[in-house]
Amino acid sequence: MTSPLPADLTAGIEIASATLLSGGDVARAFRLDTTSGPLFLKWHPDPSPGLFEREAAGLRALRAAGAARVPEVVRESPAGLVLEWIEPGPRSAGTEREFGAELAALHRTTHDTFGAVDGAPAGFLGSQPVDLTPTSTWVELFFHRRVMPLTETAIASGRLDAAARDLVDRLAPRAAELCGPAEPPALVHGDLWAGNRLIDAHGRSWLIDPAAHWGHRELDLAMMQLFGGFGDCVFAAYDEAFPLSDGWRDRVPWYQLPPLLVHAVKFGGSYGAAALAALRRYA
Dihedral sign computed on CA atoms, order 88, 104, 219, 55: negative
What gap in Å lies between CA 150 and CA 156, rounded to an integer? 10
What is the CB-side half-sphere exposure of residue 276 using CA atoms within 13 A?
17
Burial of 182 (0-12, 13-18, 19+ CB in 10 A): exposed
What gap in Å lies between CA 109 and CA 61, rounded to an integer? 10
What gap in Å lies between CA 98 and CA 70, rounded to an integer? 15
Residue 191 annotated among the catalytic residues of the structure: yes
Provide φ and ψ at 26, rounded to 5°.
Answer: -110, -35
Strands (E) located in the chain: 15-21, 28-34, 37-43, 73-77, 80-84, 122-125, 128-131, 186-188, 197-199, 205-207, 213-215
What gap in Å lies between CA 178 and CA 168, rounded to an integer? 12
What gap in Å lies between CA 268 and CA 283, rounded to an integer? 23
- Active-site residue identified among 191, 209, 232, 246: 191
**Which amino acid would we find at residue 193?**
W
Which residues carry out catalysis?
191
